[in-house]
Structure 1
Amino acid sequence: MFERFTDRARRAMVMAQEEARDHNHPYVGTEHLLLGLISEEESPAVELLAGLGAWRAGIRDRVERALTRGTEPPRGHLRLTPETKRALEDAQRESVQLGTDYIGPEHLLLGLMGQQGTIASAVLGSYGLHLQAVRDGIREPAARDATSSANDFFGRFTDRARQALSEGEKSARKLNHNHLGTEHILLGLFAVEGVALTALHNLGISHDAVRDQLLRTAGFGTKPPAGPIPFTVRAKKSLEMALKDALTLGHNYIGTEHLLLGLMRESEGAGAQLLRGFAAQHQVRDEVIRILNAPAPAPEPPPVVVGREPEIQRIMQILMRKSRNNALLVGEEGTGRTSIVSGLAQRIAQGGVPAGLAEVRLRAVDATTAARETVEDPDRTVLFVDDVQPWDADALRALGRGKPRIIAVTDPGTFTELPDLGAYFQTVPVSEPTHDEAVGILKRLRGEYEAHHQVTITDDALDAAVTLSARHNTGRVLPGKAVEVLDEAGARVRMTDGAAQTVDARHIAELFADQTADRADRAADGPSVDDRYIWAMS
């Protein structure tokens, strides 16, 4: 049988084994095979599923929710469960019945759908998929065209729109509801920054008010949902309405604003009924249109990084590699790890990078969420995961195995707990900058703090912030602790001296003098170090 497998079907089997190992399972179940099938974006099985309304990120999320992770990594050969064996046998039969002389991912999908009572069949069933519909999608060219069209529809969703749907499902679970309706999508929109959230806030509609009203009308469910949560008919209809509104507005994507408009268009849904308790349908639509037509604010330029040329050059070199082209910045909090990535982003925006990185865009993400999402144009996208923690390990491994490329940031303590990440990431050590480098960084940040505190900050103040924080705040590192000192001094001057004042070295030194005043009072051997510094700067 296996000799009839296509290359993609073989890769799906290999990835199924990888998924089993990642979850510490000594067997390959139908759930692992389903994850293996959706691991390749351009697979016929993935295209079929997307065309029928089941996109990759949602499938993975629902499978992960149903899985229980093992306690120990498996050793040796992984056995196939009886259900997986029957799925492979059914895949062979489906191939023969469809008149093909090979077994591809689409046939493996049919085999999985025939195994009732398994995680894979439950997840696929939650999307309302039927075995005959998938067969027709394989057999009929017209059905393939419809699949492609539907795939284009779900491909139009922005990352924030997908996140809103995911947050909606979380809300349904918290309420013990066994369906994902328009009311839950509405709650999900409150959890994601975007036009929809801005419009709702402008209309005086809050998450808590909507949730309280939903509890009064629907209440809590009797028990938590055990498996994947299916969309209601009205929720699906609202997504179709969202597409219509997007096209009406001349947009080639579906964002949170279109989801909100779609909820209102599906007027019989619980989401629209909840909204009508706070604002009329035309008010919601008018507010969304007003926001969309407002001129976008000029983006703030990212801070320039100085003294970090070796680190930036190393990251660029890693990103341009063919393999192990993910970078992991390891350094203590406060050493400017994130600002190094900001400096790289600025260089990309200004065209100051090699041709291989000229069209790349950096996108900050959460590790767990990113591991479940499909990234558009992965070859020209680099994901940035800040402050990686030990519990992010599985998500980071999943991201590191494929595209897009990753830049992650963590501290030495966490790094020692994740030694196997070296198989996917190359380490970039980030040490504390020198005195001059730290002063240079403060000079670049000075404008932000002057604008915030409405003060003028002198060069001497920057030098004093670095010198004194390095001398006395030994438990922290530069430039972070110097930035904290500068911020604190700016706040003090604004409070005591009023606006449009100057922060100089004297104010920085006085800040440290106050912090050590008790010790200085008890000392009998002369003035404190900070007092001497005040006189030295006079």
Structure 2
Amino acid sequence: MNHVDLLDRYTEQAQRALALAEDEARQFQHSAVGTEHLLLGLLRVREGVVARILEEQGVTLLQVRQAVEKLKGRGPHAVQGELGLTPHAQSALKLAIAEADRRHPRTTEPMPGTKYVPLSEAQRVVQDGILPDQWAALGMTIEQVRQASAEAQQQGQQVVGLEIETGMAPYANQPASGEWHHPLIIIKTEDLLLGMLNVADCTAVQILQADGKPGLKDFRYLLFLQHVSTLQTTNQNYAQQFTRSARRAWQLAWKEARQRQDHYIGSHHLLAGLLGAGDGAAARALTEQGVSLDKLRGTIESSLGRVPKGDAVEIVLTPQLKNTIELASNQARQLNQRAISTAHLLLILLRDHDGQGVEAGLLKSLGVDLYSLQTRLLELADDTADTLSTSDNDEDTDAADIPIQIIEQGLQSRELDKTILAIYPFVAEARIVLEQARIAALQQGQQVGPEHLLLGLSYLTFQQRGPVGKRLKEAGIDFASVQTVLQQRPEQGEKGHPVVLLLSAMGRACLLLAAAEAEKQDGPGAQIKSEHLLLGLLDEPTGVIAQLLQALGTSSDTIRQTILL
């Protein structure tokens, strides 16, 4: 499909989806690639975020192929030569490019934003005292870079966030037309999905709608959650332990951080640890592609640099790696495997951004074929030779500052949370609420309680989404007001830094009350919506929500009557 516009700006996964779409069209002996073939191509990129979302929603290759045959039939003979695109597919690709372009806003007015750069790069700029032209065009100053670098270093972060005004960017005033695209545009598989769903009368949308699948808005929510959330969505066993080699990899990651004099364990430390655990699946897959630990360390050094800081009193996990632990556990569950292996951990490190993340970049620079690596990892993931780690006396456990057994205990404690979230069907909007509650609790170092769920519900007032967003807005409750009231409350227990974030007992109770409200209103097995979450909170017996609502100038009875109108 060389005739596709901006083909070189598509990620590797997106290009494979297009190639597989053409393959599907040929198998059906169709003369052109349509949106139905694009849908099949996306499903065949199994390691991609889009395939995971579609499969979670019950969309399978077999079902879609059967629907295509029913709607379109098969051609009379094989088609020779390169296939073109149907008008609907052409529209879908144009809209996919538009989706990707939206990540680079153009405006004539200054607009606040953040540019993220590696700490080592920011420190080199400060040391040289020369601001790159592109940074200057974004309104930055050397002093701003110096202060942001010092803050990042103090907090043990490897990425610096620099506040910018994107309206001052050199590309900001370009016309919003199909003739010009941002030079940094990257088109991902999720852009292909959203572009396709924007063609309302296309065959792919007809297939999804006929089977009762979510619409465009819900798929946007689900894509967002796939990137940031650790919420479980299916009722399967949840892996709670690491294999012996995975535990060894965490210990080696700690050593890498200590040797680099870092105060944190980041994804690059874990990547080195995974390779250093030579008996694990990840190390075997990387070694097969010619990657050695010395080569990887050299690449990390040249890419991220090193800033001497002295010995760290305490080494902590970055928030990204805390998510990696739970997402790797989810990955093991999805593959029906009993423990978290090095393969699961590496798959999670590689999966985000369609292979455009830092870890993928490090491996690409070493000549690694990411698709082949992911395929091999899936083959090795259920490594029967890699046993469960049941002993706390493994080699070098005393050296590790991150007690792996504590992480495993947290995973076991979260089993009840995962079961609740898996058994009861939450709609996409309700999952957004749960994710916002999770983020709020994580920022406060607390378990997810009723107060965080209320804050998550108030997030819906930003765009007055659904009945809850509208009703809360009408009652004078919004995200800012709830956040202010929560900040004014006395601290509920001591803040901590949990690796695995748990629901509090009352948080669990509120979810069960929400499930009861859903069944009471819509029958057994009913989906839990945001209004059910709010009604469940209003039933919360300890009075925390009643106190918060009183501080907000209303009451539980008033809100309940409003919702039930």
TM-score w.r.t. structure 1 length?
Answer: 0.33
* Higher Cα Rg, which structure: 1
